[in-house]
Amino acid sequence: MILSKNQLIKVKCKINKNLNLHLENFLYNPALNLKNKGTVMLEGIIRDSMTKQATKTLRRDGYLIANIYGKGLENISAAFKRNDFIKFLRNKETLAFDVNLGGNIVKVVVQEYQKCPLTSELLHVDLMVAQAGLKTAYKIPVKTTGIAKGLKNKGLLMIHTKRVPVKCTLENLPNSITLEVSELDTGDNILIRDLKLPETLTCYLDPRVPVVGIIKAK
């Protein structure tokens, strides 16, 4: 069949339209992380072997072993470059953060660490998937602001509870709990019951548990 000049132009335009659509889908595929080229995201690998030898090999190659889990979700065995993981966590601004696992973007929070008792080297981390709308248990890091009175009286600032366990939804998850310690003198403590938490957070620790205090230096 011989096409007229007008028919050839229409076919050419259709091909170009389909080609452009294909390229647009490629460039804006979230799995490729090309749309947000400037966005820094922690990238990991999904482990294909759970043997002791495979774990040993990964650690020797500088990987941190990670277990990723969530309510109603299947556990994921993963690994991250240890130095990249530590650097990322030191610079992140939010408690929940995205990780890229084989092209799949997952929002997680750190729940537990495991360190080598001899070298303090980070060996393992448990990451929980932060699911929107689901009220679950999180651990909020404690920060302090101000210079305590007790420091002038040979006291030492002690953070007794470094992370406060609470229950809330991802939407209401604070990045930290900041406590003003300027008025604390030697022997003073801020207890769980003294925390001014929003109504969207529920703390299930004993109200008498100390969070921050000034102890007498020995």
Domains contained in the chain, CATH given: 42-131 (2.40.240.10), 138-216 (2.170.120.20)
Q: How confident is the model at residue 82 (pLDDT cuts 50, 70, 90)?
A: very high
Q: How many helices (H) and strands (E) does the chain have?
A: 3, 13
Tell me how long the chain is. Answer: 218
Average pLDDT over residues 51-65: 94
| 15 vs 150, residue with greater confidence | 150
Neighbours of 30 (CB within 10 A): 12
Q: How confident is the model at residue 172 (pLDDT cuts 50, 70, 90)?
A: very high
Q: How confident is the model at residue 39 (pLDDT cuts 50, 70, 90)?
A: low
| Three-class SS state of 50 | coil
- What pTM does this model have? 0.76
Structure confidence at residue 132 (pLDDT): 94
